[in-house]
A and B are shown apart, each in its own frame.
Chain A
Amino acid sequence: MPFDRLVQAMDEWAAANPTVPVEIQIGRGAYEPRHAKWLRLMPVAEYRARVEGARLFVAHAGMGSIIAAIEAGKPLLMLPRLQAMGEHNTDHQLATAVNVGNRPGLHVAGDADDLKMRASALLADTGTPPAPIERFADPAFTARIRAFIES
């Protein structure tokens, strides 16, 4: 689903910070950035390389983005999608922001203005990056699933 609020906010941030390269993946969004570089959808391998190479990763509060940031050890600034604005089917990203976003290296913005402010602050001082994690889930968890598969 489109997330024009995030795209437009970061495009405005890019206009105010012309020396910082900003690239935005906009999906099916209607708003096309005028200042930042942009594209619709990049292949997953390229996406991973971009997250690893970035100084700051800005995204929605989706688990794909969160896991990508943690696996890459990159600070993540996120803006939760809101149901009332047609950005998702439910408000579960608000819950994700509260319950998962409290990990070190993950940062949550309240709205578009807060996002721009925090992007500037985090570029000046990224703080603690996310603690590196293993590539796979806790072995105790996957062992229970294996037991289910083999029973």
Chain B
Amino acid sequence: MAKPKRILAIASGGGHFVQLLRLRPAWAGHDVSYATVHADMAAEVAPARLMTFRDVSRADWWRLPLTLFDIAIILLRVRPQVIVTTGALPPLLALALVKPFGVRTLWVDSIANSEVLSGSGGHAGKVASQVVTQWPHLAQPGVDCWGSVL
């Protein structure tokens, strides 16, 4: 295997994080840290470490500074070489923050977005190294389909 890399696997709560967990073989053997909104997910990913951030969405946009602060702390602690995310808005902030530093970033748009890319996924093209959809019919220039979590 290649030299282990520092990886941040990050996703919001609920279905986003459940999808991320189904991708775990992709980074087996690397030095992975997880980040999500619910601390009790730590048992799921142990012995890997899990950090939490305060959630935000378009519906409660005023929480954005809190989330931004938490995400910045997580990035400083992990200093990732690669970030993989299955959404949503908070991980998009992480991708935007590391863009100037040459971190490789992968946005896997949620399988829940089966007719159009997610709101955040639509913006992810501007900040992510690579955007993939889980639906072949949503593939387009700049957005590949590599498969799905199901």
A100 to B148, CA, bound (A): 12
A residues near B (Cβ < 8 Å) are: 1, 43-45, 62-68, 70, 89-90, 92-93, 95-96, 98-100, 133, 135-146, 148-151
5 A–B contact pairs at CB < 8 A?
Answer: A63-B15, A65-B15, A95-B113, A137-B148, A145-B27
Q: Is the CB of B15 within 8 A of A95?
A: no
Question: When each residue 99-139 of chain B gets 1 if its CB lies under 8 Å from chain A and 0 otherwise, what string results?
Answer: 00000101010111111001100000000001000010000
Tally of chain B residues near chain A (CB < 8 A)? 45
Chain A nearest Cβ from B3, distance in angstroms: 9
Q: Is B22 an interface residue (CB 8 A)?
A: yes
Chain A nearest Cβ from B17, distance in angstroms: 8
Q: What's the count of A-B pairs with C-beta under 8 Å?
A: 116
Which B residues are in CB contact (< 8 Å) with A145?
23, 26-27, 84, 106, 108, 146
Identify A89's interface contact among B7, B26, B119, B148, CB under 8 A.
Answer: B119
Chain B nearest Cβ from A128, distance in angstroms: 17
